């Protein structure tokens, strides 16, 4: 069995890290293809260095473009690697980015089996490009690794065969536990930013539907400003390079919010683990905060991680400033004794075990 792991963004590297480590532990034949969807050092190469992962065998360096152009260039590059250079037994993709869709399409068109890690997530908002990517990827995959029983039911209700679906837990749990231990060996990010542990709010805002629309981005930042004034905790916003660019292009001022350069993953994870509360539009950060026991307010009107809301770890605020303040107060008063719904931290081992059983046996 030869495994191709196709990734291209920070969350994919993080969530694939437990699977990569398990492949290394078992000395399996695998290689990494990096599409270059994220290409800033702090969001890309530093991850492999800090997490102790071997570097990708292939880097496509696609970078930013329109959805169609970016996905098409990835598809062409991945197809060449799979067809002319490697001929793997299975291609693994994770999540819902353009990288995921391109990797899955390239493989299925060549008759190569596709494994989708984190299958069955749905926001039911077709205006989100990620929703289209995850639905299409699920429906062309041979092995669907669902993080929860809820995700499995979604897939079954869409007509996907039960024999293709495996509830494994989410590799984000493995990654948080494994990588938090590594992060504590790094320097003290709290001192560098002048923060006291447990006495700050951490914010992330990066989704296209939030940062590309001036009114919406402005309302979110106004909400963060009001949160800082009402509750007296500094709000730290490590801004994605594209988000910083949009702040400049749209002429938006982030008042009362400390906007910093993007943090590398280990420093961000450390900061996240000791925040009083997280405000985010990221699905992955919702999961991480839930696992870490940190209350979360989501700056969206929907989530593909409903389990975080169900267990009381997360509240949907949308983008209205008053609602952001209201949900922040609600979560600050909530008891953060919820049970992590995403598994026991052994998802990576389960996924590799299933691959060996299903692919090696064929």
- Listed in sequence order, the residues at least 6 apart from 98 whose beta carbon sits closer than 8 Å to its beta carbon are 8, 35, 37, 67, 70, 71, 74, 129, 133
The three-point CA angle 18-20-23 to 5° equals 110
Query: Cα separation of 156 and 166, whole Å?
Result: 11
Active site residue 206: yes
Q: Please pick, among 38, 116, 206, 240, the residue that the annotation labels catalytic.
A: 206
Contact between 199 and 277 under an 8 Å Cβ cutoff? The reply is no
- Backbone φ and ψ for 288, nearest 5 degrees, come out as -60, -45
Which residue from 294, 260, 293 is spatially nearest to 279, judged by alpha carbons? 294
The three-point CA angle 20-23-27 to 5° equals 140
From the number of C-beta atoms within 10 Å of its C-beta (0-12, 13-18, 19+), residue 17 rates as buried
List Cβ<8 Å contacts ≥24 apart for 161-168.
165/119, 165/120, 166/350, 166/351, 166/354, 168/343, 168/347, 168/350, 168/351, 168/354
Which residue from 146, 62, 135, 69 is spatially nearest to 347, judged by alpha carbons? 146
Q: Which residues are known catalytic residues?
A: 206
């Amino acid at each position: 069995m030869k495994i191709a792991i196709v990734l291209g963004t920070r969350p994919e590297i993080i969530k694939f890290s437990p699977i990569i480590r398990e492949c290394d532990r078992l000395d399996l034949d695998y290689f990494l293809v990096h599409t270059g969807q994220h290409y800033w050092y702090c969001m890309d190469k530093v991850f492999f260095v800090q997490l102790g992962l071997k570097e990708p065998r292939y880097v496509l360096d696609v970078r930013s473009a329109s959805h169609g152009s970016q996905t098409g260039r990835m598809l062409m590059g991945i197809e060449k690697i799979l067809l002319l250079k490697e001929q793997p037994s299975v291609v693994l993709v994770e999540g819902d980015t353009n990288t995921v869709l391109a990797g899955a399409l390239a493989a299925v068109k060549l008759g190569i089996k596709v494994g989708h890690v984190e299958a069955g997530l749905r926001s039911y908002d077709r205006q989100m490009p990620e929703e289209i990517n995850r639905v299409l990827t699920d429906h062309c995959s041979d092995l669907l690794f669902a993080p929860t029983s809820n995700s499995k039911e979604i897939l079954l209700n869409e007509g996907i065969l039960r024999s293709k679906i495996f509830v494994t837990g989410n590799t984000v749990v493995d990654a948080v536990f494994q990588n938090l231990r590594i992060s504590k060996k790094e320097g003290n990010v709290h001192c560098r930013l002048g923060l006291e542990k447990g006495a700050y709010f951490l914010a992330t805002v990066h989704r296209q539907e939030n940062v590309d629309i001036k009114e919406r981005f402005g309302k979110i930042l106004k909400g963060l400003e009001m949160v800082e004034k009402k509750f007296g905790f500094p709000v730290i916003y490590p801004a994605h390079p594209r988000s910083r660019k949009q702040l400049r292009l749209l002429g938006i001022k982030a008042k009362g919010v400390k906007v910093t350069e993007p943090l590398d993953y280990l420093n961000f994870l450390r900061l996240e683990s000791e925040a009083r509360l997280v405000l985010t539009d990221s699905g992955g950060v919702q999961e991480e905060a839930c696992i870490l026991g940190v209350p979360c307010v989501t700056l969206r009107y929907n989530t593909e991680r409903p389990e975080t809301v169900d267990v009381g770890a997360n509240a949907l605020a949308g983008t209205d400033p008053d609602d952001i303040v209201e949900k922040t107060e609600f979560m600050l008063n909530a008891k953060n004794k919820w049970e992590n719904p995403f598994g026991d931290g052994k998802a990576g081992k389960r996924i590799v075990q299933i691959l060996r059983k299903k692919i090696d046996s064929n």
